[in-house]
Structure 1
Amino acid sequence: MSKATLVILAAGMASRYGKGTKQTESFGPSGETIMEYSIYDAIQAGFKKVVFIIRKEFAESFEKTMNEKLQDKIEVAYVYQSIDKFLGNHNLPIDRVKPFGTAHALLCCKDAVKDPFAVINADDFYGADAFQKAYNLLENKIQNNHYACVGYWLKNTLSDNGAVTRGEIFVNDKNEVEHIIERKKIVKREGKAISTEGEELELPLDTKVSMNFFCFDGQYINKLEKLYQDFLDKHITDIKSEFLIPEVTDKLIKSGESIVHMVPTTAKWFGVTFAEDAPLVKAEFKKLVDAGLYPSSLWETVSV
């Protein structure tokens, strides 16, 4: 029997955040991290397992904290992303420091994730509605190369403090994703969303975008290995190149290998890209707790 699994991308280096490690920073009233709210929502929706993708250098303290909080609440596993994994015959550039991106992180899960799974960022708040929809999809529709992408309104995903990257989702009349374009350096300017990479482009505020919340079956990870070798053939010498989930998924759609359904959510997204985002995120969690949507201490009342 399969078990719906939540995979959390927590190995990023947070170069734009500028202080500490945002994945483990406290934002909730009892010291909760952002991802703890995602895990809480996932448990409430029915998920049975969570897999953390982290870096080896902070594994000891991270695992100790999560094991204590999640004991007897959900099955927990850990995977380590490092830039030297799955290099094949390629030589790593001596000045490469940054990991190879989110799809490479998933590839590192090859031996840990076999069941249908949802994947999210550690530093984004996605909302309960998104997890409920993801769980239903994983239980009923995610199989045989049929995947899903949770879509958010662009206007609800911008930062007042700098440029962000969002995957613009294009769908057909069946709500199947035709392609995803990574729009980089999107800024909020005079109430508008402007992509400033290359020639400036204004994006409609109601554009559906990917926030790296996807639902896949276990076979998706197996597809990544060859695609990663193809990526390295072309980009190994570019120390800033990244092997990203939206771009890989876009290739699978265009090749006809996969069908990806766009699932809109009513949930409000928020997250921390820059240090200046932190006070707003803490205020948002306080509002949610004050409204009774979350307990003041997440783990005191949760049981499986």
Structure 2
Amino acid sequence: MNKKPTLLVLAAGMGSRYGGNKQIDGFGPNGETILEYSIYDAIRAGFGKVVLIVREEILQTAKDLLLPKLEGKIEVDFVLQSIKSFVPEEFQNPDRVKPFGTAHAVLCAKDAIAEPFAVINADDFYGKEAYDVLGSFLQNEVKPDLHAMVGYAIQNVLSEHGTVSRGVCSMNAANQLIGMVERTSIAREGEKILAKGDGEVIEIKEGTPVSMNFWGFHPDVFADIEQMWHDFLPANKENLKSEFYIPTVANNLIQAGKAAFEILPGGKTWFGVTYTEDKPVVIDALKKLHDSGEYPANLWK
């Protein structure tokens, strides 16, 4: 296709565990947000546009933060996600406060994106290599029935300060995704990595690829997501905590034989902020990347 891809940033989460709007918190030596490093890496990997999914209450703050820095560097658009977005009135519940999840966030951007696109979390640092490999895939290989995700080894994406949620992947000999299970309580205990939930404890082997929510899609996926969303709503009308995840979309497409997902090997470096205690670790890691020359002294000058 060789068309400049778009970076879709999921920045509407509430940050409840972190205790604030980590999407707009400063971590770099000049107060840069993690998101700014993602956009910087995307620009140098050939992306032509960034679309940010935000909540209305942080929209202006996000614009004030990013637009002056990105002017003339990349096209920028903002899309709002609310608990009423794409939800017909008969499925709206006034008692719901929790967002509908990552696949719903992607659906909210369907009218803003017409080209191949990547999906990332605003508060995760994915590394230059990941943008390079996914950018190349989106410009040269993506098709309506072939999408991708960047895989990360489980032992490299844990937090020392609490449990994390990860999409644990199974793959075939061709490095394609067979299926993914969302494990919502993963932590290292002694020499083992354990996932707990629903009364069971599962050991996850070191080296197991997991999703850090870094996906690459052909724009035709929006139609598939919208169809699944229309199935999700009536099935979950009374469940105020139900979420519509991207891994659910991927699993459904794979099981229906509608699409395959390449697991790309670009996941060399990752760090993120789940808990407040993660912040000094991220600040130190970014400083080292600046000191090594991976990033200039100031990203935008």
What TM-score results when the alignment is normalised by the length of structure 2? 0.97
Q: Is the 8 Å Cα contact of residues 144 and 221 (structure 2) preserved in structure 1? A: no
Superposed counterparts of 1:251-290, under 5 Å = 251-290=252-291
For the residue of structure 1 that corresponds to 2:91, the secondary structure is coil
Aligned to 1:62: 62
CA offset at residue 3 of structure 1?
Answer: 2.3
- Aligned letter for 2:243? E
Aligned to 2:25: 25
Aligned to 2:16: 15
Q: Residues 101-155 of structure 1, C-alpha deviation per residue, up to 9 Å, x if partnerless?
A: 0100010001101100000000000000000001100011111220001000100
Aligned to 2:121: 121
Partners in 2 of 1:268 and 1:114 — Cα distance?
Answer: 29
Aligned to 1:3: 4
Q: How many residues get paired?
A: 299
Partners in 2 of 1:73 and 1:236 — Cα distance?
Answer: 43
Q: Is the 8 Å Cα contact of residues 158 and 187 (structure 2) preserved in structure 1? A: yes
For the residue of structure 2 that corresponds to 1:31, the secondary structure is coil
For the residue of structure 2 that corresponds to 1:16, the secondary structure is coil
Partners in 2 of 1:178 and 1:61 — Cα distance?
Answer: 40
Partners in 2 of 1:291 and 1:90 — Cα distance?
Answer: 55
Q: Is the 8 Å Cα contact of residues 4 and 46 (structure 2) preserved in structure 1? A: no
Partners in 2 of 1:89 and 1:57 — Cα distance?
Answer: 22
Asked whether 1:216 is paired with 2:229, we answer no
* RMSD (Å), alpha carbons: 1.2
Partners in 2 of 1:80 and 1:7 — Cα distance?
Answer: 12
Superposed counterparts of 1:117-266, under 5 Å = 117-198=117-198, 199-266=200-267
- Aligned letter for 1:204? K
Aligned to 1:98: 98
CA offset at residue 94 of structure 1?
Answer: 2.1
CA offset at residue 266 of structure 1?
Answer: 4.7
Partners in 2 of 1:208 and 1:290 — Cα distance?
Answer: 30
Q: Residues 33-83 of structure 1, C-alpha deviation per residue, up to 9 Å, x if partnerless?
A: 001001111111111110001011121121122110100000111110011
Q: Is the 8 Å Cα contact of residues 91 and 234 (structure 2) preserved in structure 1? A: no
Partners in 1 of 2:68 and 2:153 — Cα distance?
Answer: 36
CA offset at residue 191 of structure 1?
Answer: 3.5
- Aligned letter for 2:117? F
What TM-score results when the alignment is normalised by the length of structure 1? 0.96
Percent identity of paired positions between Structure 1 and Structure 2: 47
For the residue of structure 2 that corresponds to 1:283, the secondary structure is helix
Q: Is the 8 Å Cα contact of residues 88 and 229 (structure 1) preserved in structure 2? A: no
Partners in 2 of 1:108 and 1:85 — Cα distance?
Answer: 7
Partners in 1 of 2:148 and 2:109 — Cα distance?
Answer: 19
CA offset at residue 295 of structure 1?
Answer: 1.3
- Aligned letter for 1:283? D
Unaligned runs of 5+ in 1: none
Partners in 1 of 2:286 and 2:12 — Cα distance?
Answer: 23
State which drifts further: 178-187 or 190-199. 190-199
CA offset at residue 90 of structure 1?
Answer: 3.1
